[in-house]
Structure 1
Amino acid sequence: MNYLEALKYLYFKRPYGKIKIGLYRIKELLELLNNPQEKYKKYHVTGSNGKGSTTTFLHYVLKNNYKVGGYLSPHLSTILERFPINGKHVSREVFLKAFDKVKSVAEILDKKGLDFAPSFFEFATAMAFEIGKEENVDFSTIEVGLGGRFDATNVIIPEASIITSISLEHTKILGNSLEKIAFEKAGIIKNGKPVIISSLPKEAKKVIYEVAKQKNSKVFELGKDFNFEIVDYKFNENIINYYGDKTIKNIKIKLNGTHQPINAALAIKALEITNNLNDDAIYKGFKDAFIPGRFEMFKGIVFDGSHNPESAEKFSENLKLYFKEKEKVAVFGILDDKDKENVIKKLVPQLSHTIVTCPPSHRATNCRETYEIVKKHINSCEYIENPLEALEKLNSIDVDLKIVTGSFYLVGYIRSYLEHGVINEEFELMRR
C-alpha cells in the first residue's frame, strides 16, 4: 500500500472515532509484535485538559539529552503528527513500515471475530510503540486518548504517571460525576510508580489518593509537594519560577495561556522525581515546545481548539490576558455532540462579531442550531456554512484581532489551508 491507501485502510477498515472498550485486543496485538513498548522508558499523561501540552513539554525537554519518541492525539493536518521523534513528526516511510507490520498482525486478530478486530486507535497506538522501537528511542512521551483505565495506551509501565486535570467530559463513556471520571483517569497509576497531579477538585483528589494507596504509588500534588510562580505573561514568552526539590527560575514558556504554567510544573516534577531533571534542557525545552492550533498566532490569526466548557473558559480568560483592549472577531464552529450552550456562553460575549460555520466532520450536521445558540449570547453574528468562505469573510473585516476557534476539525482545516494554499487529499480523507 502507498501512503494514501494506508490512510483509507485506517479510516474505513478501522472505523475512525469508533470506541472499543477493553485492553485485551491491544495486549494481544502487542504480544504478536513482541511487545515493542517494553524496549524504552516512558511517561504517561492523562487529564480532561492539558494532557497534550504536558506530554509535549516532557518530549521537548527530554529530547535535549535523549532520543525521544511519542504518541499524541488527535492531529490537525496529518496523521504523522501523532508520532513525534525529537519534536518532528515521522516520515511517510517510517509510518508505512510500522503500518505494514501492525497490519499483518491486526489481520490475524480480525480472523477471530469482530470483538478482536483492533480499532483505529488501537492500531495507531501499536504503530506508535513499534515506531519507538524501530527508531531506537530512549524515552517515549505517551498521551492518553480517552479516560485512562481502558485506553489503549494503558498497557505501559511508565517512569511516572501524570494527571493534569479532571472535569466533566465524555460522560457517556467515563461516567457522570467527577468521582467516576477520576477513577477512570486513575487507571493509569501503576504499582510502585509515582503519580503527579495538579490541584484537582476534592472529590476527584480523594479517588486518586485511594487508588494510589492501593497501588503503593506515591502522590506528588501541585501546591503541596511542589509549586510555581508567575514572573510574567507575555505572548509566546511567558516566564515562571519552579519550586520543587530544587528551584529553577526564569523559565520561558512559548506555549500561551494561564493553564500552561500548571502543565509545565507537572512536567518538571515528573522529570525531577525520575532523575531526568537538567536545567539547560529545561530552559531550552520550554522555550521551544510547540503545538499547532493551541492558542497559536499563525498568519495573523489566533487559532485555538476550544471545544469544551473548560477549554472555552480558559481561552476566553487568555484572550483577556494577552489581548484585553483589542476588538475581536471570530470564526466559530463546533461538533454536534459537544456542550454547545456552555462553550458558547463562555466564549462569545467578548467578541464584537461571530461568524458561525460548519466544521468539516460528519459529527457536525446541525450547525444552524449552533448559530441559533450564538445569537442568544451576542448581538452581532452571521452564518456561513463553508469554512473557507467564513475565513474569507473574516479576512475582509478590519479588526484588531482575528480568531478561529471551536472544534479542532475546524482549526486544523483552516490552518492547513492557510499553510498550504489548498486542502490536501489526506486532510479531506481524515475528516470524513
Structure 2
Amino acid sequence: MTPTVSNYEEAIQFLFGRINYERASAGSYTSNDLKLGRMVELLARIGNPQERIPAIHIAGTKGKGSTATMIAHVLTDAGYRTGLFTSPHLHRFEERLVVNGMLPTEPQFVELVNQLLPHIVEMDVLPGRMAPTFFEIATALAWMHFESSRVDYVVLETGLGGRLDTTKLCRPLVTIITCISLDHTHLLGETVEQIAAEKAGILKMEVPLVCGVRDDGARRVIHHIARELKVPIHQLGDDFEVEMASIRFDRDVGFRGVMQLRTESGETTPLQFSLPGRHQADNAALVYTTCELLRKEGLALDPEHVRSGISRVRCPLRIERVRSEPTVILDAAHNVASISALVDTLECLPDSARTVIFAASQDKKAAEMLVELKRGFERIIVTVFQNNPRAVPIEELVPYAEAAGFTEIGIAKSPAEAWEMASADAAPNDLICVGGSFFLAIEVREHLQGLTDNAPSTKAEPVPNLNQM
C-alpha cells in the first residue's frame, strides 16, 4: 500500500527527511552524487510537464534570484500567469514554487506531495542510487504545481551550477548567466573558468543567451560553449551596458537606485531599481535585455511593464532594510564577491557606529569574507546559526576576525543572542548588519519577526513589513 501524508506537517516532515545537499557538509558529497538520471526518471513519471511550459532559465554565482524575481514581476504585470522557482526558501518550503507571487495553499501542497509519493516510493527501490533527493522532489513539485495552475511561463533559478542541476531539464525561450565568481568550489571547480563551464551547462542549441559575466576568463569559456551550440550571445559590456548607476539611501524610505542603460539598439534608457547595490544595476540590465528578446518572440511586454517590474520588486535578504532606528540590514551574502558588494553598497549610508553580525558555512571562505567586512565595519559579533549543521565553529571565526584587523570582537552562542548584544547599546543613527550566511540571515529575520506567533501567509511577497517594529 502506497503511503500518504495526511496534513501539511507530515508533508514537510517527509520532504526534510530526504537526502538534502543544502544541509550537508561540503565533504559529505561530491559532483558524482549530482546526476540527472534521477530527475529524468522522476519527470517522466509525472508526464514531463517541463516539456510543455516555456521557461526563462537563470544561472550565476550571485544575482540569479534577484534577476528571476524581477523577470517574474514583469511577466505578471504584463498579464501572464507566471511560475517562479527559486531556492533556498526563507521560512516556508512553498516559497520555492509560487504563481503570480502566491504560494500554494497547505491543502494544495499536501495534494501535490501525495500525487508524487507513489513515484518516489517506486524509485526508492530501483537499483543504481535512484532515490530522489530533496531538491529533485522540490523541482518535480514545482513543475506539477505550475502545470496544474495553468501558467503561461516559468522563471527558473538553478540550485547549484547548471550542467547537472535539476532545472536544466526545461525548454527555455532564453537563458541568462548573471555573473561568475568563486563559490561551491568543491563541486564546481577551483577557478572561475571551471565554474563558468558548469554554469554554461544550461545553454541549449540555438537558444539566446543574455550574459552578465564581466570576468574575461569566465566570459571566454561561456562564449566558446555558446558558439559550439550556435547560441546567439547578448553580452553585457559589449551589446548593452550600464553607463551610469547610483544608489541613494534615505533613513525613512531606504535604498533607491537610478541608472542609464545603453540598450542593444544604441538608445539610452533611464531606469529605476529598488534592489540596493551597484550589482543590481547589472541585473536590471539583464532583465531589460531579456524582456526585449521575449518581446521579439511575441510576448506583449510593454516598456512600462518592464520598468515597473524592475522598480517595484523586493527580495528578502538582498541587502534588506528591516529597521530604521537603528538601521538594520539583513543580507544573504555568503561568498567573497557578495560580501564585497554588500560593503560597497553600504558606503552610501551616513557615518555612524557600524556593527556586523557574522557566521559562515564550512565550505565558504570565511577568512576572506572577514577581510572584506573590515573595510566597512569597526565592530563584529561572531556566532553560529542553529538550524543547519554546516556552521563554522566560533573558535575558528575569532582568529579569522583578529587576522582581518577587528579589535572589537563579540562572541554570541546564537544569532538571537548576537542580535541582543548588537542592539543593546545601539544609537538611532547606528548600523547593524547581518551577513556571511543565508542561514544566519534567516534566523535573525525570524527572531525579529516572531514568526511563531503569526499565522502563515500565502503571499510570497511583499514580505511582512518589519519597519513598523
Instruction: Please state which band the TM-score falls in when normalised by the shorter chain.
Output: over 0.9
Question: Cα deviations across residues 223-263 of structure 1 (Å, max 9, x unaligned)?
Answer: 11112233542243211233324547332211100100101
2:17 corresponds in structure 1 to 12
Task: Summarize the Cα distance change of 1:264–1:191 in structure 2 as closer, same or farther, 3 Å threshold.
Answer: same
232-241 or 147-156, which deviates more:
232-241
Q: Distance in 2 between matches of 1:78 and 1:248?
A: 41
Measure how far apart 1:337 and its partner are.
Answer: 2.0
Residue 75 (structure 1) aligned to one of 59, 81, 89:
89
Q: Distance in 1 between matches of 2:371 and 2:442?
A: 23
251-260 or 13-22, which deviates more:
13-22
Q: Distance in 1 between matches of 2:107 and 2:311?
A: 30
Residue 314 (structure 1) aligned to one of 341, 363, 387:
341
71-80 or 229-238, which deviates more:
229-238
Q: Distance in 1 between matches of 2:85 and 2:215?
A: 28
Residue 214 (structure 2) aligned to one of 182, 185, 200:
200
1:407 aligned onto 2:431 = no
1:285 corresponds in structure 2 to 309
Q: TM-score, normalised by structure 2?
A: 0.86
Question: Cα deviations across residues 371-418 of structure 1 (Å, max 9, x unaligned)?
Answer: 221122211111011211111111212241111111111101110221
Contact 1:29 1:105 in 2 (8 A): yes
Measure how far apart 1:199 and its partner are.
Answer: 3.8
Residue 294 (structure 1) aligned to one of 314, 318, 327:
318
1:395 aligned onto 2:415 = no
Residue 384 (structure 1) aligned to one of 403, 407, 412:
412
Contact 1:77 1:413 in 2 (8 A): no
1:352 corresponds in structure 2 to 378
SS at match of 1:238: strand
191-200 or 24-33, which deviates more:
191-200
1:184 aligned onto 2:198 = yes
86-95 or 156-165, which deviates more:
86-95
Q: Distance in 2 between matches of 1:101 and 1:230?
A: 50
Task: Summarize the Cα distance change of 1:49–1:423 in structure 2 as closer, same or farther, 3 Å threshold.
Answer: farther
Measure how far apart 1:421 and its partner are.
Answer: 5.4
Contact 2:86 2:157 in 1 (8 A): yes
Number of matched pairs: 425
Q: Distance in 1 between matches of 2:380 and 2:21?
A: 31
Residue 104 (structure 2) aligned to one of 87, 90, 111:
90
Contact 1:37 1:130 in 2 (8 A): no
Q: Distance in 2 between matches of 1:149 and 1:96?
A: 31
Counterpart of 1:345, as a letter, is V
Task: Summarize the Cα distance change of 1:421–1:102 in structure 2 as closer, same or farther, 3 Å threshold.
Answer: closer
Residue 216 (structure 1) aligned to one of 225, 230, 233:
230
Q: Distance in 2 between matches of 1:421 and 1:259?
A: 31
SS at match of 2:381: strand
Measure how far apart 1:181 and its partner are.
Answer: 1.1
Measure how far apart 1:420 and its partner are.
Answer: 2.5
Gaps of 5+ in 2: 250-254, 457-469
2:53 corresponds in structure 1 to 40
227-236 or 266-275, which deviates more:
227-236
SS at match of 1:55: helix
1:370 corresponds in structure 2 to 397
Q: Distance in 1 between matches of 2:452 and 2:244?
A: 41
Q: Distance in 1 between matches of 2:454 and 2:164?
A: 34
Counterpart of 1:256, as a letter, is P
Q: TM-score, normalised by structure 1?
A: 0.93
Residue 259 (structure 1) aligned to one of 264, 279, 288:
279
Residue correspondence of structure 1 range 322-341 to structure 2 within 5 A: 322-341=348-367
Contact 2:329 2:433 in 1 (8 A): yes
Q: Distance in 1 between matches of 2:451 and 2:170?
A: 40
